[in-house]
Amino acid sequence: MADWEEVKRLAADFQKVQLSSTTQKLSERNCIEIVSWLIDRKMLDLIFTSDGKEYITPNQLVSDIRGELYDHGGRINLVELAKVIGVDLAHINTYLNDVLKGNKEIQSVLGQLVDSSYLIRIAGEINEKLSQQGQINISDLTIQYDLPADFLQSQVVEKNLGKIIFGKQDKNDSKVYFTESFISRTKAKIKGSLAGLTRPTPITSILNNIDISEKLFFSLFDQTALYGTLTGRMTGAQYIPNVYARTQNEWVNHFYKQNGYLEFDALSRLGITDQKTYIKKQLVNQEYEILHSCIVSKSILERVDADIDECISSKSFIDLQNNLPSVFNQKDEEMILNLILTSQKRSQTILIENYLLSKAFVDKLLKDCESLIQEKAKNTVESGKYQQYQISLQAASSKNQKAEELEEKVDKREERRKKAAGGKSGGGTQGRETKTKSTKKAARGGNRNNSESDGGEKEEKKVLEIINFDDAKDVLQLPLEEEGIEDDILQQIIEYLLPKLNEDALQQAANIFATTIADRTANRRQTHNEIQSKLNALISDVRLFEKGLKLLSADIQAQLIKYLLKSVCTDIVTEILNYIASEQNLAPPTENLSNEQRLKFVNDLPSEYKHTILPVVKSLTGQSIEDFLMTVETALSACSMILKKIDKKKDRTLVLNHKYQLLEELNKSEDLALILHLAVVAIFTTATQTMLHCSGRHVSGVLSFLKQYLSDEQVMELISYHDFVTLMLSGGSEAENAKEKLKEKVSTIKKIANDFKKPGTEKS
Amino acid sequence: MVDESTRKTLSNIPLLKTKAGPREKELWVQRLKEEYQSLIKYVQNNKDADNDWFRLESNKEGTKWFGKCWFIHELLKYEFDVEFEIPVTYPTTAPEIALPELDGKTAKMYRGGKICLSDHFKPLWARNVPKFGIGHAMALGLGPWLAVEIPDLISKGVISYKEKSEK
């Protein structure tokens, strides 16, 4: 039975299994115990793995480390090593020395193990890189290989320099290596860029352009620096090409030689910062003066000096701006003048901005203004501004109440004077107007001198501005422009002159004022007298006329009275009114006033005049000469005039004079009608020893009155002449004829008149 | 309940499939083969774990088994004869393992030296018919029993160490 066989076999197997020796196996715990016991007893030297499940013998560890190092291509981190081998890092560190001792090719660097094969490899790499880039820096390598710079330097690069790495160590910086070709390339670059530069250039921009490190540039610069210099060894330094320096110096020399001055600005534009020392260095043998913004040569100074001399001697001016190079600013000019002007010259010149004016020139200008001063001063005095000014001066000097009262008095007096002087515009308010005007002007003056202190401004206000800027300008502009002085400086000059002009003008005004006051008082008295005597004469005429009138018949008398009132009396009234008008500063009434105008004028007069004048004016339209004479007397007394007493003797001479006047006129006269008129009046005067005032119309009436004094033929002659005259004046066809006749008779008429003697005397 | 190590050894003993007693000629052979294979595996396991503690062999039919078992206590090896028969109702009924040497020396024993198995053994076995075999019986029955009783007996002085030479 196969099954049983199988069972047998299985049974045999079972026996065999049971009889086979048992494996002598220790439990894990036991093992650990045994091992730790052994380690304790120092009978075994084992290293625990980090998971604690394995032991490693030190030898194994050392060989493991080496193996791993090899595995990792010659370089391994200790920490990584510990992980890979599975041993605590401490153990690796303890056995590191064993590893290194056994093999000189292995090195421990910064927690890493590195062997020589790796070093050779990176040396190769470095060489490759070096040949590619031309230069290499250890610090770059440090970053790339994560190895300390010293190590790389000493162990890798320097060891293999010339063997694996073909390059040169930088003498200045041992950490930099480069190839010969790189050096020469860089040098060429630097040379090229430097040779190309003509202007001072910051190093940084050069470096940016040629893409070279600063250090390299500076180390190579000395080997290439043929074309210029560096201002320093810093980043901010500048490269100054020799060409540039040379041209700069040349330019400076030439410019100075040519122009005689040298501007600091120009130098700084050229890039020279310390101009003064530079100039000192550059212009060694030159004589020059250092000014504010430039230097100037002696020759220019001499020229200016000469110019000023000439200016003084020629009594003109010089424009420094034009005479000096345009770069000189005001400060420079001042400095120059300080250098040049001796005190003597200084006294002869005046400096206004850029202009140097000789005293003489200024005096001339002042002289030009003299007429203006005169005129203005006169105007000022006449317009009363001067008086106003004086008052204000007084007011300013004494501020107490008393002074003010005084001022008021003065004011009034002044006002009256002004009226007397015949001010052009209305009376009462004028004073105040001018006052405000003047203060306004003064304020303007003050504004102009704003720069002055407050006190100065106050002072300024007090000064009357007689001549203002525009006036002076008007006068001076022309002569100054002829001299070639520009407008802006004109202003300056005028401003300079103005105070002087004003002072002069003020003086003038004072003089004029003094004289006018004297003049005016005298003048007034005179006119007053004149008018008085004139009025007296007229009035006495009127009186005499009246006397003559009374001889005539009543109807003619009335006519003649009317005529007399209209002519002579009206003249008298007009005269009086004129006088009053001038006295009151009113617009003088026109010559030929209608009665209404006259009345109106009188009504406008102040009451003191009005009461006395009004009856006079009214009497003009009346019928009585006596009324007129009476009223005139009172009116004249109101005008502070005296009517002379009636003097019979004087009347006589007056009548005589009148007669001779008439006869003289008669003899001279050619007018046919006038001859008759004059003849009749003359005869009347002679006949009655009175005067007659009549018009041609009254001639026939008078003639008929004269009949009693004349012979018949004379009367015939006169009447026939009169008829012809009336014929002639009436015009018509017979006018010419009558004229002829009259001409024939003129001599007879003249003769009659001349020969006529007073009948009384004839008779007696 | 069986302890952890027992359970582990038990799980390492291959289970049986054939349910057959000694009377069933054909199937018993089958069963016997499986028993052997299981035992071989078990012994092998024990040897591997340095835990060999018995020797067994059977008669030709495989109904009677006998051998030795030993227990090491305080570095002394105590060895006992072991024998048992396969019951007719096997595998439903578990074999009764006996240690004749110890008959009458301990209370936990039936007459003839059959060991008293723990209360757990029988229900466990019943639940695992026919999967459990002789190996299981050894591991679950005899092993624990020895581990408990022998140190006790030694301490009582009932049994004493016998030199190998005496044997």
Q: Do A587 and A581 meet the contact criterion of CB atoms below 8 Å apart? A: yes
> What is the b/e burial string over A521-543, where b = at least 16 CB atoms within 10 angstroms of the residue's CB?
eeeeeeeeeebbeebeebbbbbb
The three-state secondary structure class of A168 is: strand
Which chain B residue shows the shortest CA-CA distance from A4? Answer: B29
Distances in Å between the alpha carbon of B32 and those of A472, B45, B46, B91, B124? 158, 20, 21, 11, 21
Q: How far apart are CA B125 and CA B134, in angstroms?
A: 11
Structure tokens at A559: 């006519």
Q: How far apart are CA A484 and CA A361, in angstroms?
A: 13
Q: How do the domains of chain B map onto residue ranges?
A: 19-154
User: Which residue(s) pair with A702 in the sheet?
Assistant: none
Alpha-carbon dihedral A314, A320, A322, A325, rounded to 10 degrees: 130
Q: Do A694 and A560 meet the contact criterion of CB atoms below 8 Å apart? A: yes
Tens digit of pLDDT for each residue in A496-506?
777 777 777 77
CA atoms within 13 A on the CB side of A360: 12
Min Cα distance A50 → chain B (Å) is 28
CB contact under 8 A, B40 and A17: yes
Which chain A residue shows the shortest CA-CA distance from B59? Answer: A11
pLDDT of B31 reads 85
Query: Tokens 């045994």 correspond to what residue?
Result: A34
Contacts of B29 in chain A (CB under 8 A): 1, 3-4, 6-7
**Residue B91, preceding bond cis, omega within 30 degrees?**
yes
Angle between the N-to-C axes of helices A570-584 and A595-604, in degrees from 0 to 180, rounded to the nearest 10 = 30
**Of B167, B166, B143, B153, the residue nearest B10 (C-alpha):** B143
B interface residues, A as partner, C-beta within 8 Å:
26, 29-30, 32-33, 36-37, 39-40, 43-44, 47-50, 52, 55-58, 60, 62
List average pLDDT for each run of 10 residues in chain A, which is 764 residues long. Answer: 73 78 68 80 74 76 81 80 78 77 74 80 82 78 79 75 74 73 79 75 76 72 67 68 76 79 76 73 72 76 78 72 69 74 70 70 74 74 70 64 50 56 44 42 41 38 60 67 65 72 75 74 75 79 76 74 77 76 64 68 73 75 75 74 70 78 78 75 75 73 74 75 75 69 73 66 39
Q: What is the DSSP string of A508-551?
A: HHHHHHHHHHHHHHHHHHHHHHHHHHHHHHHHHHHHHHHHHHTT
pLDDT of A417 reads 58
Using CB atoms within 10 A of its CB, is residue A331 exposed (0-12), middle (13-18) or buried (19+)? exposed
- Cα–Cα–Cα angle for A247, A248, A252, nearest 5°? 115
**Residue B87, preceding bond cis, omega within 30 degrees?**
no
pLDDT of A453 reads 38
CATH architecture for segment(s) B19-154: Roll (3.10)
Structure tokens at A511: 């003089």
Q: How far apart are CA B17 and CA B37, in angstroms?
A: 12
Query: Does A4 contact B at CB distance below 8 Å?
Result: yes
Q: How far apart are CA B160 and CA B167, in angstroms?
A: 13
* DSSP class of A750: H
**Residue B130, preceding bond cis, omega within 30 degrees?**
yes
Q: How do the domains of chain A map onto residue ranges?
A: 28-103, 179-244, 260-363, 369-524, 552-646, 653-763
**Of B65, B102, B118, B124, the residue nearest A14 (C-alpha):** B65
CB contact under 8 A, A4 and B49: no
Q: How far apart are CA A195 and CA A260, in angstroms?
A: 33
Q: How far apart are CA A586 and CA A613, in angstroms?
A: 16
Q: How many residues are recorded in chain A? A: 764
Question: What pTM, to 2 d.p., does this model score?
Answer: 0.32
User: Which residue(s) pair with A161 in the sheet?
Assistant: A165
Structure tokens at A275: 């101009």
B133 has a pLDDT exceeding 80:
yes
Kindly report the number of other CB atoms within 10 A of residue B16's CB atom. Answer: 24
Which chain B residue shows the shortest CA-CA distance from A20? Answer: B47
Tens digit of pLDDT for each residue in B156-165?
887 777 665 4
Q: Kind and range of the H or E element at A179?
A: none
Q: How far apart are CA A382 and CA A424, in angstroms?
A: 10
Min Cα distance A63 → chain B (Å) is 34
Which chain B residue shows the shortest CA-CA distance from A28? Answer: B49
The three-state secondary structure class of A314 is: helix
pLDDT of A411 reads 56
Q: Report yes or no for ipTM above 0.85.
A: no
Query: Tokens 């088994």 correspond to what residue?
Result: B65
Active site residue B69: no
Q: Which of A7, A18, A24 lies nearest to residue B62, judging by beta carbons?
A: A7
B151 has a pLDDT exceeding 80:
yes
Contacts of B30 in chain A (CB under 8 A): 3
**Alpha carbon A20 to chain centroid, angstroms:** 133
Q: Do B99 and B141 meet the contact criterion of CB atoms below 8 Å apart? A: no
B43 has a pLDDT exceeding 80:
yes
CB contact under 8 A, A23 and B48: yes
Residues 6+ apart with CB under 8 A from A253: A282, A283
Structure tokens at A617: 């004016």
Structure tokens at B57: 């062999």
Structure tokens at A447: 């504004």
Q: How far apart are CA A136 and CA A750, in angstroms?
A: 150
First to last CA, chain A: 242
